[in-house]
Amino acid sequence: MGDAMALFELDDVTFSHNPTLPPVMEGFSLSVNEGLRTAILGANGAGKTTFFYTLTGVNKPQKGQVLYKGAPVEYTKEGLRNLRSEVAVVLQNPDEQIFCSLVEEDVAFGPLNLGMSAEDVEVRVAKALSDVRLTGLERRPLQQLSGGQRKRVAIAGALAMDPRVMIMDEPTAGLDPQASMEVMEIAEKLALRGVTVLISTHDVDLAYRWAEVSDVLCKGSVEHSGNAEEFYSDAERVYACGLLAPSVFSINREVSAMHGKDPKPYPRCPCELLAKFGGSKRSGRVRLVPAGPEEAVNAMGSAMKDMKDACSCIYGPDVRRVLGGSADVAFDGMDVCFSRAVEGKDSVLAYDPVYEPFVRGQIDRLKEFGFDVEAV
Amino acid sequence: MDELAYSSRMVGWSPLGKLLLVMALLIVGLITQSILVPLVTFSIGLALMAYSTNMRVPLILSLAILEAIAIMILGSGMISIMGDKSDPALWEGNILWFGIHMTVDSFNKAWLIFFRAIAGVTLMLSFASSTPIPHLAQALRSLHCPVEITELIVLIYRYAFLLLEKFLVMLEAAQCRLGYNGSMTAIKSYAGAMTGTFIFSMELADKSEAALACRNYDGVFPVFHPPKKMSVKWVVVSIGLAAALYVIGLWTVGWIDMAELFAPLFGWVMRWRCSS
Amino acid sequence: MADTILEARDVVYSYSRKGPKVLDGMCIKIDKGVKTAVLGSNGAGKSTLFSVLNALYKPQSGTVLYKGEPLSYRHKGVIKMRSEVSILFQNPNDMMFKPYVEQDVAYGPENMKLPKDEVDKRVEEALFTVGMEEYRKSPIMKLSYGQRKRVTLAGVLAMRPSVLIMDEPTAGLDPQMAYEVMEIAEQLHSSGVTVVMSSHDTDLVYSWADEIRVLGGGRCVYSGPPEDFYGDRAEVQRAGLMPPSVFSINEALSRSGAFPLEPLPRTRAQLSVKISGKGDAYGRMHVILADPETDVPGLIASSGLKGISTGVCGISARMAAESSGFKADFPYNGPENCVSKCMTGQDSVLICDPAMLGVAESSVRFIEANGYGSIETDVVNPGLSDRGLSRRRTGRVIKAVCPIAAFRIASGRPRVGMRKRFRRVLQRRKPERFATSWLKRVYVLS
């Protein structure tokens, strides 16, 4: 991790809400690198939220330095405004950050505060709402929306700032499994667009699967930063940090131990686990259908005609809107589709074209496990 | 209420213009001595409300108007029976220790006040049901009302509902734990829920402050899709309408005599008219 | 097999007269003593259903039955029912009525108009169950979210409900805290409380629940064991859910021909066992029964078990480890981790709450019943309870009664024989009957 990439650098930061209270961050040093999917892990009260507020300049450290793009954060009105126009936060509870009564009013809140012109704001709001799949609900009062929808409004509010860094505090908390899948797809999309996404979560399975970098906080300081496996391999440390190892990691470790094998390479998602411990010799065919919402129906139809008995899978919000009702697997389609390939069965994977590098990346990762997906 | 206001057909109208119109009509209704003017303003208010809600006046608004009418009937009733003792009485009597002395003047005055009041309520409601609080705040701001006050209105409005919701949930939790088993217990539970809500409000304040900062809030709630600015048209219409009504009011004083209207119904003898 | 304790029949409920029907012809049965999970997407009506079952909301039509009797919405009937059926709300802050822990826990029992002694006793017992005894006098404001959650759980337990409904008990908790809450739920279950919970954590629920109820569109769309539901992918998708990862990995592996579909593993460790297949030499699992006063390191040293990996299971075991400064290798998921350890050919030690023996047993049984070999088990200190009386910090005398001890008192045999007998007992008896009652029988305050 070269210094050139570091977007945020925290050096020996100490912060407490009140001089009489013990500090909630102490000796906190961490750098956040640009363009990497970063997970912030830690038990309740480890200081995750405090850390996020330090990044956005809400908390001014009593000691130590916060650097953004190499320069110390200026705690002036102007400096903070510049910082916050690039760093957006989505809080755990959407009700805490929704301030207006209409969807579009709330999404426009951030950009309007930056003093942007009405036309620019209009464009941004429309884009943000389409990103979170809320187009058509612009003038809906927020009280009428469900919890999952409100969460997406909060995310849209952050997206409308067109941020360079997106911080999401427990984005999947309180959401049902499908809604959390959708939120993670949004996070993935942002990462592919070059936004640096930071996610804090208690869901270690989800973080393990998603993140490239895992930063573990414990009692107000950084316990680990970097590779997730390195951290989870040290069971004692994991327990001391209030966490548990992700189940895919544990299964791999246990099975490897019972067979006396090297746990490497580490599978991170079910399809990789399958590729490692079983699976047929021959890969099932996977028909990749990157399709925009307009051509998706036709593309999917012709793909399904070519492939008999294939399972149709979906990844990405736009394709889901069009095909969600008819597909066999509308959520988590990518993993299911590659799992089936490992089983030796055929499937069709339709996804938004944005996700192309992500899908290719997964195919490459499966190669590490000695499995070649036959992608058509 | 905000929900209603945003869905109103008049939401795009200038809030200041609406405010001016409503105020002008209110004032004219108050200064006039003719009973016709409040009647007219009342019907304007009703018409505005009907238009604003697309002819579907919601239950809650009709209830509010009905309640206002009920209160006003009571009030005007009181006025009507406390007439000047020197005037001849239409109706005299005693209810318990309360002496009743209704005169023609007091009766007419009561009607006037009644119409003024319900006209006022309807006009205000038609304004409130078509103007969301952030729009109102913006209108006030353009009147050079201090930012602190306008923002406070918006914030209080927003958090009052959140806190109320919280309070209700706590009361439910109290019920689950038998918190109403006996009147003393019930009082204690209410107190507990109130302290809980209070603590919650403090925690919420902390969190909201940080959240607002993260979203670059700098002391002013912006309005996306702001309503139109007040144009000269609004001023002309409001003032014109008010002036016209005032003139009509002067002209029509005493045209409608409610006492006379009701006389056959109660068999009152209009003595003073005969004598003149 | 089981009696229905709570039932909703054709219940229709909506929050406002013209509003959408949140419950629309809901029919659901909760069986006594069955660990039931209520699943459904956001807005499926889980919380509303709970409120209806607790007589907080009166349905517009349909009936709610408790123990076969329709609910009476009169004051007396409701009081009686609510003192037996309790809800743990999702957000602990909604249930905080008093400034101090002790007072808040006492709130429920006091409202039941119990005598002061009884209230005290229950508060102590409840705080002990959730492991918050030392915070008894603390102000609630100073507690963390997880601690508050436990205090509210204690507040509900102090009413000694026979049915406990938990709305998203693990939401917002970190993995360890979530695991502890699930452990408490397990212990409550083994003490005879009917535990019902809703959760979005599919994996966690799958490893815990005997039966699930899936809600969708205001109705109950599935009722039965979880495996049958997750087998139908289309149905799962329609309900807004996802299959648990353990389930889908097992399914995929079996389809690819690695092993047969059955037995269906419920937990991660069981899946690991299944993937590994039958080993040649397994280690032995030593069980140390623990009450909060047990000197764990001493016992391990005296039994010659030093250097062996240790796991912890159950609250009193956790407290024992903590108070004697013992650091276990597997403080969470003890039984499963110990079994995995044994499968690698090494021995393991499980420090176990007597009430959690059933759980430990089922972990071992999965291996044996499915032909992956057998793991020898022995209890190091079956005499925990016939030591009989142990003194706790409060100075009260506590007597622990546990079936193994009872067995040993009866047989009076040495340890080796014990082990065989123990295993036979485990095999013969059903776990529900075997596991001791936690609240009512294990610690009898005298």
Q: How many domains is chain A partitioned into structurally?
A: 2
| Cβ atoms < 10 Å from Cβ of A344 | 16
Residues of C in contact with A251 (CB under 8 A): 249, 268, 271-272, 275
Please name which of B166, A46, B204, A128 lies closest in space to residue C176, comparing C-alpha atoms.
A46
Evaluate whether residue B222 is within a structural domain: no
Shared domain check, A64 and A180 = yes
- Residue B224 has its nearest CB partner, among A80, A108, A114, at A108
Shared domain check, A94 and A7 = yes
Q: Which two tokens stand for residue C110?
A: 């006091």
Contact C96 B172 (CB under 8 A): no
Measured between CA atoms, how close is B65 to chain C, in angstroms? 21
Q: Which chains touch A (3 or more CB pairs under 8 A)?
A: B, C
Shared domain check, A160 and A294 = no
Measured between CA atoms, how close is B247 to chain A, in angstroms? 43
Q: Is C167 exposed, middle or buried (0-12, 13-18, 19+ CB in 10 A)?
A: buried
Contact A328 C234 (CB under 8 A): yes
Q: How many domains is chain C partitioned into structurally?
A: 3
Evaluate whether residue A264 is within a structural domain: no
Contact C241 A342 (CB under 8 A): no
Q: What is the DSSP string of C377-392?
A: EEES-GGGTTS-EEE-
Shared domain check, B121 and B13 = yes
Contact C108 B178 (CB under 8 A): yes
Among C256, C277, C298, the domain boundary falls at: C277
Shared domain check, B240 and B112 = yes
Shared domain check, C252 and C292 = no
Evaluate whether residue B26 is within a structural domain: yes
Give the position of tokens 């579009």: A104
Residue of C nearest to B175 (CA): C56
Q: Which chains touch C (3 or more CB pairs under 8 A)?
A: A, B
Contact status of A218 with chain C (Cβ, < 8 Å): no
Shared domain check, C238 and C249 = no
> What does pTM read for this prediction?
0.81
Contact B132 A95 (CB under 8 A): no
SS3 content of chain C, % helix, strand, coil (to 5): 45, 20, 35
Shared domain check, B155 and B114 = no
Q: What is the pLDDT of residue C30?
A: 93
Question: What is the rounded radius of gyration, in angstroms, for the C-alpha atoms of chain C?
Answer: 22
Q: What is the DSSP string of A270-312?
A: HHHHHHHS---SSPPEEEEEE--TTTHHHHHHHHHHHSTTPEE
Shared domain check, C238 and C369 = no
B to C CB pairs, distance under 8 Å: 70
Contact C97 B175 (CB under 8 A): no
Residue B168 CB partners (closer than 8 Å, separation 6+): none
| Cβ atoms < 10 Å from Cβ of B71 | 13
Measured between CA atoms, how close is A71 to chain B, in angstroms? 20
Shared domain check, A47 and A139 = yes
Shared domain check, A178 and A89 = yes
Shared domain check, C338 and C190 = no
Q: Give CA–CA dist B66/B122, Å, rounded.
A: 10
Domain that holds residue C401: 282-445
User: 3-class SS at C28?
Assistant: strand
Evaluate whether residue B71 is within a structural domain: yes
Residue to substitute from B162, B177, B181, interface C, most C β-carbons within 10 A: B177
A to C CB pairs, distance under 8 Å: 151
Evaluate whether residue B86 is within a structural domain: yes
Q: Which chains touch B (3 or more CB pairs under 8 A)?
A: A, C
Contact status of A144 with chain B (Cβ, < 8 Å): yes
Contact status of A99 with chain C (Cβ, < 8 Å): no
- Residue A110 has its nearest CB partner, among B162, B207, B216, at B216
Enumerate residues 129 to 158 of chain B having a beta carbon within 8 A of any beta carbon in chain A.
Answer: 132, 134, 158
Q: What is the pLDDT of residue A87?
A: 92
Q: Which two tokens stand for residue C67?
A: 């123990």
Q: What is the pLDDT of residue A156?
A: 92
Shared domain check, B253 and B165 = no
Residue A200 CB partners (closer than 8 Å, separation 6+): A39, A40, A41, A42, A48, A49, A52, A168, A169, A170
Q: Decide if C153 contacts B177 (C-beta within 8 A).
A: no
Residue C399 reports pLDDT greater than 60 = no
Residue C407 reports pLDDT greater than 60 = no
Shared domain check, B30 and B161 = no
Shared domain check, C292 and C265 = no
Contact status of C90 with chain B (Cβ, < 8 Å): no
C259-283 tens-digit pLDDT? 888 888 888 888 888 888 777 778 8
Q: Decide if A346 contacts A286 (C-beta within 8 A).
A: yes
Shared domain check, A234 and A96 = yes
Evaluate whether residue B224 is within a structural domain: no
Evaluate whether residue A245 is within a structural domain: no
Evaluate whether residue A247 is within a structural domain: no
Shared domain check, B86 and B29 = yes
Shared domain check, B123 and B15 = yes
> Omega of the bond prior to C263 within 30 degrees of 0, cis?
yes
Measured between CA atoms, how close is C24 to chain A, in angstroms? 18
Evaluate whether residue A357 is within a structural domain: yes
SS3 content of chain B, % helix, strand, coil (to 5): 70, 5, 25
Shared domain check, A298 and A206 = no
Residues of A in contact with C311 (CB under 8 A): none
Contact A109 B215 (CB under 8 A): yes
Q: What is the pLDDT of residue A280?
A: 64
Q: What is the mean pLDDT of chain C?
A: 80
Domain that holds residue A160: 3-240
CATH number of the domain to which A203 belongs: 3.40.50.300
Evaluate whether residue B223 is within a structural domain: no
Residue of C nearest to A201 (CA): C174
Shared domain check, B238 and B127 = yes
pLDDT in tens, chain B (276 residues): 666 777 777 777 888 888 888 888 888 888 877 778 888 888 888 888 888 877 666 777 778 778 888 888 888 888 877 777 776 777 777 666 667 777 777 888 888 888 888 888 888 888 888 888 878 887 888 778 788 888 888 888 878 888 888 888 898 898 888 888 888 888 888 888 998 888 888 888 888 888 888 888 877 777 777 777 777 888 888 888 888 888 887 777 767 777 777 777 766 655 554 443
Q: Decide if C5 contacts C84 (C-beta within 8 A).
A: no
Asked whether the CA dihedral C221, C227, C231, C233 is positive or negative, the reply is positive
Contact status of A75 with chain B (Cβ, < 8 Å): no
Shared domain check, A128 and A16 = yes
pLDDT in tens, chain A (376 residues): 444 478 899 999 999 888 888 888 888 999 999 888 999 999 888 888 899 999 998 888 998 989 998 889 988 888 898 898 899 999 888 888 888 888 888 899 988 888 888 888 999 999 899 888 888 888 888 877 877 788 889 999 999 988 999 999 999 888 888 888 889 999 999 999 989 999 999 889 999 999 999 999 998 899 999 899 999 998 889 988 889 899 899 989 888 887 878 888 899 988 888 888 876 667 888 889 888 888 888 888 888 888 878 888 999 888 888 887 788 888 888 999 998 888 888 899 999 999 999 999 999 998 888 888 888 7
Shared domain check, A284 and A212 = no
Contact B134 A144 (CB under 8 A): no
Domain that holds residue B146: 138-214
Q: How many CA atoms lie within 13 A of B194 on its CB side?
A: 6
Shared domain check, C234 and C102 = yes
Contact C268 A258 (CB under 8 A): no
Residue of A nearest to C167 (CA): A174
Measured between CA atoms, how close is C414 to chain A, in angstroms? 33
Contact C203 A44 (CB under 8 A): no
Shared domain check, A90 and A42 = yes
What does the H/E/C string look like for A172-234? CCCCCHHHHHHHHHHHHHHHHCCCEEEEECCCHHHHHHHCCEEEEEECCEEEEEECHHHHHHC
| Cβ atoms < 10 Å from Cβ of C224 | 11
Contact B174 C97 (CB under 8 A): yes
Shared domain check, A159 and A216 = yes
Please name which of C334, C298, C300, C329 lies closest in space to residue C316, comparing C-alpha atoms.
C334
- Residue B192 has its nearest CB partner, among C54, C79, C97, at C97
Measured between CA atoms, how close is B127 to chain C, in angstroms? 26
Shared domain check, C328 and C288 = yes
Evaluate whether residue A39 is within a structural domain: yes
Give the Cα-Cα-Cα angle C402, C408, C409 (nearest 5 degrees): 90
Contact status of C161 with chain B (Cβ, < 8 Å): no
Shared domain check, C347 and C253 = no
Contact status of C143 with chain A (Cβ, < 8 Å): no
Contact A141 B3 (CB under 8 A): yes
Q: What is the pLDDT of residue C403?
A: 35
Residue of B nearest to C94 (CA): B170
Shared domain check, B7 and B106 = yes
A to B CB pairs, distance under 8 Å: 84
Enumerate residues 337 to 356 of chain A having a beta carbon within 8 A of any beta carbon in chain C.
Answer: 339-340, 342-345
Q: How many domains is chain B partitioned into structurally?
A: 2
Contact status of C73 with chain B (Cβ, < 8 Å): no
Contact C42 A147 (CB under 8 A): yes
Shared domain check, B106 and B159 = no
ipTM exceeding 0.95?
no
Contact status of C99 with chain B (Cβ, < 8 Å): yes
Shared domain check, A200 and A99 = yes
Distances (CA, A) of A101 to A57, A145, B52, B118, C382: 27, 11, 19, 30, 64
Contact status of C44 with chain B (Cβ, < 8 Å): no
Question: What is the rounded radius of gyration, in angstroms, for the C-alpha atoms of chain A?
Answer: 22
Q: Give CA–CA dist A44/A243, Å, rounded.
A: 10
Shared domain check, C166 and C83 = yes
Evaluate whether residue B51 is within a structural domain: yes
- Residue A112 has its nearest CB partner, among B204, B213, B224, at B224
Evaluate whether residue B220 is within a structural domain: no
Contact status of A240 with chain C (Cβ, < 8 Å): no
- Residue A258 has its nearest CB partner, among C253, C276, C330, at C276
Shared domain check, C192 and C54 = yes
Q: Give CA–CA dist B91/A213, Å, rounded.
A: 89
Contact A274 C253 (CB under 8 A): yes
Residues of A in contact with B223 (CB under 8 A): 105, 112
Shared domain check, C254 and C203 = no
Measured between CA atoms, how close is C107 to chain B, in angstroms? 8
